[in-house]
Amino acid sequence: GDGVVIEARSRQYRGVIEARSDAGRFRLVNEVDVEQYLRGMGEVRNPSWPAAGLEAQAIAARTYALRASGGGRRPGGFHLYDDQRSQVYLGRQAEYAAMDAAVSRTRGRVVTYAGSLAATVYSSSAGGFTATATEGFGPGASNRPYLKAVPYPTADPRSWKVEIALRDVAARLGYRGTISAVRVAAKGPSGRALTVVVEGSAGPLEVSGVSFDAKLGLKSTLFTLRGDTAAS
pLDDT tens per residue across span 7-32: 877 889 999 999 887 777 788 899 99
pLDDT tens per residue across span 142-166: 989 999 999 999 999 999 999 999 9
Confidence of residue 232 (pLDDT cuts 50, 70, 90): very low
Q: Which residues, 6 or more positions from 72, have their beta carbon under 8 angstroms from its beta carbon?
A: none
pLDDT at position 231 is 45
Query: Of 61-65, 121-125, 131-135, where does mean pLDDT reach its minimum?
Result: 121-125
Confidence of residue 2 (pLDDT cuts 50, 70, 90): low
> Are the CB atoms for 129 and 188 separated by under 8 Å?
no
Q: What is the C-alpha separation between 193 and 210, in angstroms, rounded?
A: 8
Q: What is the C-alpha separation between 68 and 35, in angstroms, rounded?
A: 15
The candidate with the shortest Cα–Cα distance to 31, out of 13, 46, 48, 49, is 13
Calculated CA dihedral for residues 180, 182, 185, 186, nearest 10 degrees? 180
pTM: 0.85
H helix count then E strand count, the chain: 6, 9
pLDDT tens per residue across span 54-99: 999 999 999 999 999 998 888 888 999 999 999 999 999 999 999 9
The candidate with the shortest Cα–Cα distance to 133, out of 124, 125, 142, is 142
